[in-house]
Structure 1
Amino acid sequence: MNKDCLKSFLELQIVWKDEDMFELKVTASNGRYFGTTEVYDTTESLFSFAQTLIGFPKDNNKLFHDAGNKNGYAYFSMNFYCIDNAGHIGVEINLEDTVATEFRHQEKNKLKLEIIVEPNAIDNFQRELSQLATTQKGTANLYGRDNRLDN
């Protein structure tokens, strides 16, 4: 899909790696708000989270993953939860980034947004996220329900 035409999505992309960790470029949009940050994560952490997404949602549970340090240099979190009995899932995404400016030593950019997704989008994202974590290359995309062809 062409990102310029997307309404709501979450994209994780590997931009750097070494033997201990990798750097993710995280981009999110809900159609109205858009943001990006770059955070460090590990194969173990991201793969473990991807495994919890298998078959989600189960028993209306909530799933949470974060990387970086909240109120630190950079931070990213995604919180998955059921929003109705029709299988729609909300994903709250938090992005933070510290930017040095000439006027202040640290300026913090923060964005919190929600996208609504369907279970099949979670299944696709889970597979891509597992692949991303194990190969340490590529991207994983979670598309909002407003990206369906029938919308």
Structure 2
Amino acid sequence: MDKEKLKSFLELEIIWKDDDMFELKVTVSNGRYYGITEVYDTTESLLNFAQTLINFPNHHQTTFYETGYKDGYAYFSMRFYCIDKIGHIGLEINLEDKVATEFREEQKNKLKLEIIVEPSAIDNFQRALDKLAINQKGFAILYGRDNRLISNF
């Protein structure tokens, strides 16, 4: 799928790395709002989160991941939660853009949005996160429910 045509998605891409950490470019859209930030993380942190997504939501009602510093240089968080008992899953995403802290608080870019995803998309995303963290290169993308291919038959 071409990213420009997607309605809702979350993409994590490693854009820099060294021996201790890597930098993630986080891109998200819910079809109406769109945002990007860049934050630092470690393999261990991302792998630990990926493990919480295995069989989600069977064993967890919610799962949460964050990296960076809220109201600091840059921040990213995502919280997966059940919307109902028939498999609808919400994903709340918070982004804060890199603005040096000596600037006014009003100047810092912040975005909070929700996308709706299906369990099979979470399974694919979990596997991509594992691969991303271990290889420290590439990207992982989570497609929103509104990206399903709809047949005209």
Range of TM-score over shorter length: over 0.9
How does the TM-score come out when normalised to structure 2? Answer: 0.93
1:3 is matched with 3
Alpha-carbon deviation of 1:48?
A: 0.6
Alpha-carbon deviation of 1:150?
A: 1.4
Alpha-carbon deviation of 1:17?
A: 0.2
1:108 is matched with 108
- Aligned: 1:43 with 2:43: yes
How does the TM-score come out when normalised to structure 1? Answer: 0.94
1:130 is matched with 130
Alpha-carbon deviation of 1:58?
A: 1.7
1:75 is matched with 75
1:148 is matched with 148
Q: Distance in 1 between matches of 2:97 and 2:145?
A: 27
Compare the two structures and name the one with the higher strand fraction: 1
Amino acid at match of 1:105: F
1:90 is matched with 90
Report runs of 4+ in structure 1 exceeding 2 Å deviation: 104-107
Aligned length, in residue pairs: 148
Alpha-carbon deviation of 1:124?
A: 0.2
1:62 is matched with 62
Q: Which runs of 5+ in 1 are unaligned?
A: none
RMSD over aligned CA atoms reads 1.4
Alpha-carbon deviation of 1:59?
A: 4.8
Q: Which runs of 5+ in 2 are unaligned?
A: none
